[in-house]
Amino acid sequence: MDRDKIMGKPSSQQFFQTALQHIGLASFDADGTAPVPLPSQRSSTVRFKNVAALEQAQQSRAHGGKTPPVYGRGGLDTHRALEEVFCTLEQGQGAFLLPSGMAAISHALFSFLQQGDHLLIADCVYAPVRGFAEKMLARMGVEYSYCPPTVEGFAQALQPNTKVLYIESPGSLLMQMLDVPRLVEWAHAQDLLVMTDNTWGSGYSYQPLAMGVDISIIAGTKYVGGHSDLMLGAVVTRHESHMKTLHDAHYAIGFAVSADDCWLALRGVRTLPLRMEQSAQSALKVCEALTAWPEVEQIYHPAWPQDPGHALWQRDALGSNGMLSFAWSLSPAQTRIFVDSLQYFGIGFSWGGFESLIQWVNTSAVQTHSYWAHSAQGQRSAQGNPPQLLRVQIGLEAPEALIDDLMQARARALQHTD
């Protein structure tokens, strides 16, 4: 296995590891002293010494498409520091902070779609996007099509009114690596704006803007925050020309993120390189253990050499993380026993924190949200896999302890006969 690859390309990863330690440090006071972290600036109101100061503030950022610091919703220094973090990670020109990853997705799509437009969506995207399309975009008069995430798949659904291509790489459940450079080349030839959900890579392990994507979206709730104690999203663009459009939608809708959540994200991002690299190494060890289980039919993890997208991962990614899925042939009843028997894996829908989690996606079971079930069923039916899919977030526990836990839960499941 290419463990050097898991650690990332040295030039890029060393830059991030260093830069993330120096963004958002507190400035020195007049007496030459300063705390290390920038304090959380909590304020709904900004005061001005005189009218001239107000006028200067209003003019200072007007041309950049960002809200001038005249009201707390526009964000103060804590927010500016976190915006710089996202721009640094994604190598973007500007970033907008949102109160969740789904809010970031909504903001990006609201900013560039209007009644009568058509949207192409990769069928491997984060399942709640389907809910947003059904409950919000359709009501706005925006048409959309779910497609296999290939040029051929999107080309078949292209319409004269198509405006945006929305993708996610790797995919949300099966971790499919998309050929992003080829998709971008095709989409731009059709005059389409390309957006991607980059929560998996979070800028550190994957940089879609560098591959030509126009807008990258990150759920900072996950690896950026890293401690499962905040909700956060970000929209990052590589075009200065997009800044005003994004700002207008952001401010008009009233999106705002608390200064304390920004502060927590700044704290979390200091250890982002260490956490992602440790989780990535542990995930490979778990993949090794799973290959010994005859009931495991497929492991989905792009850094794993047997994954169908491994070559694309080698070509395009800077590193990996702790996310993996596997399909197996055990029954729903056995799978339930397996999940319930785990001691170190919480049952939950999030990921990217310090703790390990597991999500059972059973396309025929009531405990699986309909959007997740529909997404999994659509992606996996073509591959002929059984309906039992387990998505696992490998956290910072000792990998040996996690593997032992998985093995004891499997032993219990195998004892059950339907």
**Active site (annotated) includes residue 144:** no
Task: Show the CA angle centred on residue 204, arms to residues 199 and 208, nearest 5°.
Answer: 65
Per-residue pLDDT, 117: 98
Pick the catalytic residue from 5, 61, 71, 73: 73
Pick the catalytic residue from 117, 197, 261, 307: 197
Nearest to 392 by CA among 356, 343, 353: 356
Q: Chain-centre distance of CA 347, in angstroms?
A: 19
Are the beta carbons of 24 and 81 closer than 8 angstroms? yes
Q: Give the integer Cα–Cα distance in Å for 36 and 97.
A: 23
Are the beta carbons of 145 and 120 closer than 8 angstroms? yes
Are the beta carbons of 44 and 254 closer than 8 angstroms? no
Q: Chain-centre distance of CA 307, in angstroms?
A: 20
Nearest to 203 by CA among 19, 64, 393, 40: 19
Pick the catalytic residue from 123, 126, 270, 307: 126
**Active site (annotated) includes residue 197:** yes
Per-residue pLDDT, 376: 52
Q: Give the integer Cα–Cα distance in Å for 201 and 168.
A: 10
Q: What does CATH list as the number for 7-269?
A: 3.40.640.10
* Cβ contacts of 378 within 8 Å, gap of 6 or more: 123, 146
Query: What is the topology classification, in CATH, of domain 272-415?
Result: Aspartate Aminotransferase, domain 1 (3.90.1150)
Nearest to 346 by CA among 327, 360, 363, 332: 360
Its pTM stands at 0.91
Same fold, 7-269 and 272-415: no
Pick the catalytic residue from 163, 222, 238, 336: 222
Domain boundaries, the chain: 7-269, 272-415
Segment holding 121, helix H or strand E: strand 118-122
Q: Give the integer Cα–Cα distance in Å for 297 and 410.
A: 15
Count of Cβ atoms closer than 10 Å to residue 19 Cβ: 13
Segment holding 264, helix H or strand E: helix 259-269
Per-residue pLDDT, 344: 98
Q: Which two tokens stand for residue 170?
A: 């790797």
Per-residue pLDDT, 56: 84
**Active site (annotated) includes residue 316:** no
Are the beta carbons of 302 and 324 closer than 8 angstroms? no
Amino acid at 67: T
**Active site (annotated) includes residue 222:** yes
- Reading the chain (418 residues) residue by residue, the pLDDT tens digits are 343 444 444 457 778 888 888 888 888 888 888 888 888 989 889 999 999 988 888 876 555 556 667 888 888 899 999 999 999 999 999 999 999 999 999 999 999 999 999 999 999 999 999 999 999 999 999 999 999 999 999 999 999 999 999 999 999 899 999 999 999 999 999 999 999 999 999 999 999 999 999 999 999 999 999 999 999 999 999 999 999 999 999 999 999 999 999 999 999 999 999 999 999 999 999 999 999 999 999 999 999 999 999 999 999 999 999 999 999 999 999 999 999 999 999 999 899 999 999 999 975 544 444 444 555 554 544 445 556 999 999 999 999 999 999 999 999 999 987 6
